[in-house]
Amino acid sequence: MHLSRAKADPRDPAALPRLLLTVLAIVLLWPGLVLTEFKPATLVESRNLDVFARFLAGFWPPDLSSDFLRLLGRATLETLAMATAGLALALLLAVPLSLLCSRALSVSALLTGRPAWLADMLRYPARLLLILLRSIPEIVWALLFVRAVGLGPTAGVLAIAITYSGMLGKVYAEIYESVDQRPARALLQAGSSRLAAFCYGILPTAAQELTSYTLYRWECAVRASVIMGFVGAGGLGQMIDLSIRMFAGGEVVTILLTFLLLVLAADQLSSLLRRRLA
């Protein structure tokens, strides 16, 4: 008689967790589909199809009249200016905030390697502020500023300034903490002020990464500026919003193409500068 226990089918330890995960996925999927009113059939419903088809038909030929192109040129420059000015203002806020909350300049860390908890506590408000600034999407800020200061690019500039100061501040602080800490520590130990320790100890090594990230964010800012036009902050976004509402397919196509070219150009310029400056 052969003992069959040893020859029984081996139990797969991963079977139960996988089953539970699948069940969980299905349980979450159904309400998700319901909440999003997921009905692919509406795409081919005759009413919608008609509207969209007519809209698409209007895409060709693209509108290339000289008046429109002049408007387009202005809007593009406005978008670029918004992104640049917004980022510049963001820097004004981001640099001091990042210095405030970075542990790289901690004097109390010189002894033990970690900042004293009291000093850490004081850093938290700065960190919290940075988190707050970047957690609210910039377009919400744009909407608020449009209501506060009126339509136009000012709202967009301010919105970018606020959100991007949060993003830049956080990443700057992380970059300060990730480069070699020894020069700065040595300076602090020798009694220099924190600002001097930063400029001579951290900035030289971190400069490349900082520039690179800032240029990357500028590129993002260009894209964000377009989007903010949708809430009235000017630039290409506002133009495309109007054109869509007016069902002017030809204009939409031209603006979309301009936008794609703009993003591409910004991408290239940013890479070029990153190579040259950093």
Chain residues in the site for another protein (CB under 8 A): 7, 9-10, 12-15, 18, 28, 31-33, 35-39, 42-43, 48, 51-52, 55, 77-78, 80-82, 84-85, 88, 132, 135-137, 139-140, 143-144, 147-149, 153-154, 157, 223, 226-227, 230-231, 237, 240-241, 244, 256, 259-260, 263-264, 273, 276-277
Report the residue number, 53 or 122, with the smaller CB distance to another protein. Answer: 53
DSSP 247: T
CB of 12 to another protein, least distance (A): 6
Report the residue number, 75 or 197, with the smaller CB distance to another protein. Answer: 75
CB of 97 to another protein, least distance (A): 19
Q: Where does 105-247 have alpha helices with state H? A: 109-112, 117-135, 138-149, 153-178, 182-189, 194-197, 203-228, 235-245
Distance of CA 191 to the CA centre of its chain: 39
Report the residue number, 70 or 147, with the smaller CB distance to another protein. Answer: 147
CB of 31 to another protein, least distance (A): 7
Q: CA 278 to CA 272: how far, in whole Å?
A: 10
Report the residue number, 59 or 200, with the smaller CB distance to another protein. Answer: 59
Report the residue number, 52 or 110, with the smaller CB distance to another protein. Answer: 52
Q: CA 206 to CA 222: how far, in whole Å?
A: 25
Joined tokens for residue 155: 């709202």
CB of 85 to another protein, least distance (A): 4
Contacts of 64 (CB under 8 A, 6+ apart): 254
Site of tokens 């506060």: 148
SS3 188: helix
CB of 33 to another protein, least distance (A): 7
